Structure 1
Amino acid sequence: MGTKKQVLFIQGGGDDGYTADAKMVSAFEKALGSDYEVHYPRLESDDTAPDFGWPSQIGRKIDELKEGAILIAHSVGASLLLKYLSENSISKKISGIFLIATPFWSGDEEWKQGLKLSEDFPQHLPQDIPLFFYHCQDDEEVPFKQLTAYREKHPTATYRKVSKGGHQLENNLDVIIRDIKER
């Protein structure tokens, strides 16, 4: 009996992003099957921290994983996973990073400053880990053009345009599952 491959899923934000993303996590568990073990921790928001305190929590969860784990994140969680990875070193091997409906924070509003990535963030990401972005053209929460912003900044990542499915991809994860199973 082989060891199950670990998957860490980082939730999106909002009033109850954890509950909203639970359906997506369930769809991942079903599609990935028994060879994978999906971890879905609830991240607690610290409204006094400019980044909600999520990057440090994400780092602790990554530290708990075995070598070769897979990281999946949705929406705000995806942007804050990128923030963590571009501002910290990780010592363990990660098989792949899969980001869904990732906001690209820009602008001068005070509330966005703790969420924004550094201008040169791609140079600070782990270079040996495959990085995938997925975004639906009909996403009404995170505009599709934000995928273009990432592509301009980090052209060597893999980008998957999904024609429809909204912010949650309607939990149709086939394209992501194919990419994960190739890792």
Structure 2
Amino acid sequence: MKHTILFIHSAGSQEGEHEGSNDLLRHLRAGLGADVTLLAPRMPSPDSPTYASWKQALDALVPTLPGEVVLMGHSLGGSVLLKYLSEEAFAPRIAGMVLIAMPYWGMDDWEVDEYLLRKDFPTGLPVIRPLYLYHSEDDDVVSFEHVHYYAGKLPAATVRTPVGMGHVFAKPCPALVGDVRSLL
């Protein structure tokens, strides 16, 4: 069965070849091959994002998704996906989810109310198995401790900690491609 991958990018400029999530997307596309449908919509105002505008974009996009979908999010994109899934009805069947370098809003220096998850957010999530949390120990934007908060709230998640990927995963990550391919 062919699945669609929906990838939600990070905050910040996505215009240049090496900006935002572009390197990560390029490596995913190369690793997964042309037979995989990878949707990576440009989210509204990535340089000054708001949850309301990204939610509105997801509200318009989600009903158009065919069949089973693999969800992926990088940095802010991952946290927006998680918030959206925990608060909104999601009709497509989820074949799995991969969240990469995602901030846990509410931690010191990450207190932005509009992105905060409810304390009981896991109870609002649809069943998502498998769920992968990727975070590199050398992430210089979102510290490594963020993934530990998520792992504590999502004990069924598999945590992967590839070495040397930084925040943007700008080089190939075979484990990531392998996990995504396993969801297809």
Range class of TM-score, shorter chain? 0.7 to 0.9
Aligned residue number for residue 113 of structure 1? 113
Compute the RMSD of aligned alpha carbons. 2.4
Q: CA separation in 2, counterparts of 1:55 and 1:129?
A: 23
Q: CA separation in 2, counterparts of 1:172 and 1:9?
A: 17
**Residue 57 (structure 2) pairs with residue 57 (structure 1):** yes
What SS does structure 2 have at the residue aligned with 1:59?
helix
Aligned residue number for residue 23 of structure 1? 23
Q: CA separation in 1, counterparts of 2:130 and 2:166?
A: 24
What SS does structure 1 have at the residue aligned with 2:114?
coil
Q: CA separation in 2, counterparts of 1:7 and 1:59?
A: 17
**Residue 67 (structure 2) pairs with residue 67 (structure 1):** yes
Is the 2:23–2:168 Cα contact (8 Å) retained in structure 1? Answer: no
Opposite residue 152 of structure 1, the aligned amino acid is: G
- 1:156 positional shift: 1.4
- 1:17 positional shift: 4.0
So what's the TM-score if we normalise by structure 2? 0.87
What SS does structure 1 have at the residue aligned with 2:147?
helix
Aligned residue number for residue 6 of structure 1? 4
Q: CA separation in 2, counterparts of 1:109 and 1:147?
A: 15
Q: CA separation in 2, counterparts of 1:46 and 1:143?
A: 21
Where in structure 2 are the equivalents of 1:21-100 lying within 5 Å? 21-45=21-45, 51-100=51-100
**Stretches of structure 1 lacking an aligned partner (at least 5 in a row):** none
- 1:50 positional shift: 5.3
Q: Deviations over 1:77-117 (max 9, x none)?
A: 11001000000111121211110000000159897001010
So what's the TM-score if we normalise by structure 1? 0.88
What SS does structure 1 have at the residue aligned with 2:95?
strand
Opposite residue 69 of structure 1, the aligned amino acid is: V
**Residue 148 (structure 2) pairs with residue 148 (structure 1):** yes
Opposite residue 81 of structure 1, the aligned amino acid is: L
- 1:131 positional shift: 1.5
**Stretches of structure 2 lacking an aligned partner (at least 5 in a row):** none
* Aligned CA distance change for structure 1 residues 49 and 74 (closer, same or farther; 3 Å): closer
Is the 1:56–1:84 Cα contact (8 Å) retained in structure 2? Answer: no
Where in structure 2 are the equivalents of 1:165-180 lying within 5 Å? 165-180=165-180
Aligned length: 180
Is the 1:12–1:18 Cα contact (8 Å) retained in structure 2? Answer: no
- 1:52 positional shift: 4.8
Q: Deviations over 1:50-91 (max 9, x none)?
A: 525212312322222111121111001110010000001111
